[in-house]
Amino acid sequence: MTFQYKNVYLENTSTIAGPYEKKGPLAKYFDIVFDDLYYGEKSWEKAEAKILEDALQLLLQKSRTKKEDVDLVISGDLMNQITPSCYSNLKYHLPFLGIYSACATCVEGLIIASNFIDGKKIRRAIVSTSSHNMSSEKQFRNPTEYGAPKPKTATFTATGGAAFLLSNQKSSVRIESATLGRINDLEQTDPLHMGSVMAPAAADTIYQHLTDLGRDPSYYDLILTGDLGLYGKEILMDYMKEEYHINIGEHYNDCGIMLYDLENQKECLAGGSGPVCSALVNAGMIYDYLKTGKFKRVLWVATGALFSPTMVYQHENILSIAHAISLEVVE
């Protein structure tokens, strides 16, 4: 399902990133970086909620926007019952939509907001997401065996919060189109190789997007998946070639790889993951590149592994989904 928009603009973004992201090559594009994974709070979960709350406040400040001028907030994250999203939104008391699409959550939110704005249902929305390396490790890998080695195919959940202000008022970057993904099952069962789980979902959505709009990969300065990591990236390129006879190699990169210096940050294994990973890359570097004219068109394909410890324990396959939006410079 592909949508095209006439009047949906990206008015501003805000980004807050943690200590691992601070050491990565994109640090200079983040508004705020911090060192303490507790972020001054008493638990990782409360830290994640506070990071997201601060990202919302920063977005309003940067945009010189009062909360009364925002029609709704859409937010989601990885935590059970999306608690960081709920708690972070409390003090704004704005109409709220909670969403969940694993690491594809942020783009799902951007698509909902874009459809509302382009359909003239609202004028302005905030879309936000967060993840936290430790709150995720605690929730998804519980009981964690400390010191247990992970395979090099495993990804590393990014820590931070990101928020996007969308509007019907003209600005320099717009959301030009979007493709809603479908749930895929390639019978993958390894939660330590999410790249292989999610690559087919990314391929399905990229193919659908290009086909629906009659485009080829060269239409975009960059097609960005988020977040397949080193091995998933290779799988996606192969899969696109073999399944769809499309070579995306020249125009393609992955947010999970870009977020860290993987040569030196060995702890990040195959690359970043978590919903904030591709959100930080796009709200940070990509938004900067579009505003300054280094890029004209970018396709952001957020990938999500619909992964639940409960279903993995019950030997079910890990499902996946990918949602895409096209960001374009306004001429």
Which of 194, 321, 325, 329 binds a copy of itself (CB under 8 A)? It is 321
Instruction: Retrieve residue 252's tokens.
Output: 């393609």
Instruction: Give the residue from 275, 5, 2 showing the smallest Cα distance to 114.
Output: 5
Closest distance to a copy of itself from the beta carbon of 253 (Å): 25
Q: Does 203 bind a copy of itself (CB under 8 A)?
A: no
Closest distance to a copy of itself from the beta carbon of 244 (Å): 16
Which of 38, 61, 69, 121 binds a copy of itself (CB under 8 A)? It is 121
**Collapsed DSSP state (helix, strand, coil) of residue 40:** coil
Would you tell me how many other CB atoms lie within 10 Å of the CB of residue 210? Answer: 23
Which of 83, 153, 172, 247 binds a copy of itself (CB under 8 A)? It is 83
Between strands 173-179 and 156-157, the pairing is unpaired
Q: Measure the CA dihedral 233/15/32/92, to 10°.
A: -150
Q: Does 325 bind a copy of itself (CB under 8 A)?
A: no
Q: Does 57 bind a copy of itself (CB under 8 A)?
A: no
What mask, x for binding a copy of itself by CB under 8 A, covers residues 158 to 197? Answer: ----------------------xxxxxx------------
Question: Which whole-number Å values give the CA distances from 271 to 20, 24, 307, in the listed order?
Answer: 11, 11, 18
Residue with the two structure tokens 């008022």: 169
The stretch near a copy of itself (CB under 8 A) out of 7-15, 81-89, 245-253, 262-270 is 81-89
Q: Give CA–CA dist 133/136, Å, rounded.
A: 5
User: Which residues within the stretch 127-146 sit at the binding site for a copy of itself (CB under 8 A)?
Assistant: 139
**Angle in degrees, CA 228, 229, 232, rounded to 5:** 55
Which of 319, 324, 327, 329 binds a copy of itself (CB under 8 A)? It is 319
The stretch near a copy of itself (CB under 8 A) out of 23-31, 100-108, 214-222, 294-302 is 100-108
The stretch near a copy of itself (CB under 8 A) out of 14-22, 54-62, 82-90, 262-270 is 82-90
Give the helix/strand (H/E) hosting 120. none
Choice between 203 and 258, CB closer to a copy of itself: 203
Which of 79, 126, 173, 237 binds a copy of itself (CB under 8 A)? It is 79
Which of 18, 24, 76, 232 binds a copy of itself (CB under 8 A)? It is 76
Instruction: Give the residue from 286, 314, 310 showing the smallest Cα distance to 224.
Output: 286
Instruction: Give the residue from 167, 176, 177 showing the smallest Cα distance to 10.
Output: 167
Number of residues that bind a copy of itself (CB under 8 A): 54
**Collapsed DSSP state (helix, strand, coil) of residue 53:** helix
- 271, 262 contact by CB (below 8 A): yes
The dihedral sign for the CA sequence 170, 2, 198, 45: positive
Site residues, a copy of itself (CB under 8 A): 1, 3, 42-43, 45-46, 71-72, 76, 79-83, 86-87, 89-90, 93-102, 108, 112, 115-116, 118-122, 139, 180-185, 306-311, 314, 316, 319, 321
